[in-house]
Amino acid sequence: MLAGVTLLQFMEKVPDRVAAEHVVHHLGWKYALDLELTYGGFHPTVLVYFRDRLEEKGEERVIFDGVLELLIELGLVKRRGKQRLDSTHVLGYVKQMSWLECAQRTLGLALEALESVVPGAERPGFWERLWACYVEGELDWRLSEAESKERYWQCGQDMGELLRWATQKSPELGELHALKLLQRVFEEQFEMVEGRLQPRLRRVKGAVQNPYDPDAHFADKGSKKWVGYKVHVVESVDPTEPAKVKGEAGEHFITEIITTEAAQDEMSGLAEALNRQERHHGIKPEAIYTDAGYVTERTLTEAEQNGIELLGPTRPDPHPGPYNTDAFSVDIENKQAVCPQGNVSTQWSRIRDSYQGTEYYRIEWAGQCDSCVIQRQCTRSRNGRRLLVLGLRHDLVEKRRRQMKEADFSKKMHPRNGIEGTLSELVRGHQLRRTKYRGMKRVRLSHYLMGAACNVKRYVNLMAFQMSRAALQAA
Ligand code: SF4
């Protein structure tokens, strides 16, 4: 029953208190939940504990899975159908802090956690100073740049001092969540340089931005910068479906909704989406429509290996000017490439990068470039010799770039466009853009509930339309 109430709550976007009231007074809810009219209800906090239990047991997707399995049984979602995928950003439920504020607040939280477990007599001599500065004190926004730097460095010293004291005092103190977080923030923001503590010059990827939600990371996507998460949404689509009449509900249902770190790339999102769908529901799409962020040599290769057609444009070659990779004719089978001036490559090597775990081809033209008339347009290398670096399955990228030049390519990609509408529906209808929760697990749970609510709404709309059409036809 609580799963049903939670689902209705996410469909109606009502808080726990209102949901608990609806269970008692709303006849529609009683009917949907199959409750007796005399049912007396429960306290709203029961819903909080229910979500906590789902999170603790790692059952964040159980309601979403139940709804999706029902849609598969009804034949509305095919296990070997076509799908479309896209991602969008999710703002975390925390404010963006400066590094100084983040370090100070983390230290304050660690002191508050220690206060409840370390008796007054056992606290270190510097306790009072740190407490006054980081728990009772406020960050002064009028500090000059030099003062801010000095405060930041002092904060690093204090963090180190407290961590050293806690480690010497008792190993159990180091197990406190707030102390672990302090250690993490200290290591992410400071380093020892020639025996002296210094703020790090380069920020660590995935660093804590706000101690109240360490899982909310910073991401920079060109014009878009945010602190929070990223969500990938996969939806079923049928390109052969006839055009809908006005008001007719589409048979598109969300088959996976993946919450990831804000800065995670699209390629990993695609792999995870396919993996989870197969693992939880035996869904292995025949084809999947995506945008250019998902279509790379790696994903095209993986899709080919798994028997999935990955449809979508690929990114243009990043090499500037007219003599980019597309201007070269590459024959991977015979290990030969012909440059824009018609010269055949002189060197073809297969390189294994054990650090990055990648393999690629390195192609050279050596002395032929020295006397080339377009040398300056073709290469900017110091020695004036063009070097071509290509992935092992560059032929797949080349093929896709050729397809992109075909007249009907954009028409073939039309089925992908609807995913923008689904993202808009989740953002406007279910508040996907700004999460109300903190922590990856809780945010993931809320996204699965939004996905389940969206699917139920779509199913209800479809049924309502089919019933009204049947009634009109009978009349
Ligand atoms: S610079 Fe070298 S690779 Fe480029 S067109 Fe001339 S010969 Fe070919």
Distance between Cα 18 and ligand 1 center (Å): 71
Domain ranges (residues) in the chain:
2-59, 82-91+217-313+413-474, 99-199, 325-393
* pLDDT score for 145: 87
Cβ atoms of 8 and 19 closer than 8 Å: yes
pLDDT score at 358: 83
Q: Select from 329, 363, 369 the residue to mutate for testing ligand 1; criterion: most ligand atoms less than 8 Å from CB.
A: 369
Question: Which residues lie with the beta carbon below 6 Å from any ligand 1 atom?
Answer: 339-341, 343, 365, 368-369, 372, 374-375, 378-379, 386
What pLDDT is attached to residue 18? Answer: 96
What is the 119 CA–ligand 1 centroid distance (Å)?
A: 75
Per-residue pLDDT at 278: 94
Residue 455 is predicted with a pLDDT of 95
Write down the pLDDT at residue 121: 87
Distance 92 CA to ligand 1 centre (A): 50
Please identify, by atom number, the ligand 1 atom nearest to the C-alpha of residue 372: 6
Which pLDDT score is estimated for 92? Answer: 95
Ligand 1: distance of its center to the CA of 370 in Å? 8
CATH code for residues 82-91+217-313+413-474: 3.30.420.10
Residue pLDDT, tens place only, 401-422: 889 988 899 888 998 988 999 9
Predicted pLDDT of residue 31: 93
Ligand 1 mean position, distance from CA 383 (Å): 12
* DSSP secondary structure letter of residue 434: B
Q: Looking at ligand 1, which atom is closest to the CA of residue 374?
A: 6
In the chain, which stretches have pLDDT less than 70? 320
Name the residue at shortest CA distance from atom 7 of ligand 1. 369
Distance of alpha carbon 348 from alpha carbon 365, whole angstroms: 9
| Spatial CA neighbour of 1 closest among 22, 14, 15 | 22
Q: Which atom of ligand 1 is nearest to the CA of 373?
A: 6
Q: Are 293 and 270 in contact (CB under 8 A)?
A: no
What is the atom index within ligand 1 of the atom nearest the CA of 388? Answer: 3
| pLDDT of amino acid 322 | 80
Q: What is the structure's pLDDT at 222?
A: 80
Ligand 1, atom nearest to 369 Cα: 2
